[in-house]
């Protein structure tokens, strides 16, 4: 089994989402599993300089900036396609995702790679049969409350890629009662087999 772990907190030292994702990884990983790790805080690019409505600049017209963007996009798509289990750790930033996770989704959404259009114009996700664990942390925002735009957005994007098996481990509202939030998240991890 290939486990793909993606961390997105802008904080490396002392990050709760990273620590919980590591705990989850240790819980589910079997000795024969391979782990591919990606830290979105180390390397990310924003989609920019496009010349058409989508991500389709002919190779001959690509600038150095485009080449770098497509190179990273190709890498991210491949990592996703090759994975069986995906762990995404993410804090809520200003009621949504960190900018790096939004940028990741823009680079990962590639037609004929992670989604496609049917002849009738409907969309279908191409990343079927993958299990995703979302490790979500927040200070004061309650997960799935009306000010949480991260969770519904991320689930929607993953569904768009064809991913339906999504489990959430939440350490939300840590600013209110840190110990309680962590304890509940750890209990959720312990229940995963």
Ligand X SMILES: Cc1cc2nc3c(=O)[nH]c(=O)nc-3n(C[C@H](O)[C@H](O)[C@H](O)COP(=O)(O)O)c2cc1C
Contact characters 1-40, ligand X, x per CB under 6 A: --------x-x---xxxx----------------------
Tokens of 174: 């840590």
Cβ at position 168, least distance to ligand X in Å: 14
C-alpha R_g of the chain:
17
Distances, alpha carbon 108 to alpha carbons 16, 101, 125, 179, 190, in Å: 25, 10, 12, 35, 30
Site for ligand X in 143-162 (CB under 6 A): none
Cβ at position 177, least distance to ligand X in Å: 13
How buried is residue 185: exposed, middle or buried, by Cβ count under 10 Å (0-12/13-18/19+)?
buried
Site membership for ligand X, residue 174 (CB under 6 A): yes
Cβ at position 146, least distance to ligand X in Å: 13
Cβ at position 142, least distance to ligand X in Å: 8
Q: In sequence order, what are the beta bridge partners of 85?
A: 3, 131
**Whether 166 contacts 155, CB under 8 Å:** yes
Instruction: List the Cα angle 17/20/22 in 5-degree steps.
Output: 110
- Helix H or strand E segment including 18: helix 16-28
Q: Which is nearer to ligand X, 34 or 177 (CB)?
A: 177
Site membership for ligand X, residue 56 (CB under 6 A): no
Cβ at position 92, least distance to ligand X in Å: 4
State which of residues 80, 88, 91, 103 lies at the interface with ligand X (CB under 6 A): 91
Site size for ligand X (CB under 6 A): 17
Task: Give the residues lining the site for ligand X (CB under 6 A).
Answer: 9, 11, 15-18, 91-95, 137-141, 174
């Amino acid at each position: 089994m290939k486990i793909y772990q993606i961390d997105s907190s802008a904080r490396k030292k002392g990050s709760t989402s990273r620590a919980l994702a590591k705990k989850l990884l240790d819980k589910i990983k079997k000795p024969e599993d391979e782990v591919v790790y990606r830290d979105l805080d180390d390397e990310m690019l924003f989609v920019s300089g496009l010349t058409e409505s989508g991500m389709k600049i002919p190779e001959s017209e690509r600038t150095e900036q485009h080449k770098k963007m497509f190179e990273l996009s190709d890498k991210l798509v491949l990592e996703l396609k090759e994975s069986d289990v995906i762990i995404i750790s993410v804090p809520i930033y200003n009621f949504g995702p960190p900018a790096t996770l939004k940028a990741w989704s823009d680079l990962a959404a590639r037609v004929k790679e992670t989604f496609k259009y049917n002849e009738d114009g409907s969309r279908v996700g191409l990343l079927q049969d993958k299990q995703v664990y979302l490790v979500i942390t927040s200070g004061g925002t309650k997960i799935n409350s009306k000010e949480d735009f991260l969770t519904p957005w991320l689930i929607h994007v993953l569904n768009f890629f064809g991913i339906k098996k999504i489990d959430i481990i939440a350490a939300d509202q840590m600013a209110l009662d840190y110990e309680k939030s962590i304890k509940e998240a750890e209990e959720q991890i312990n229940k995963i087999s």
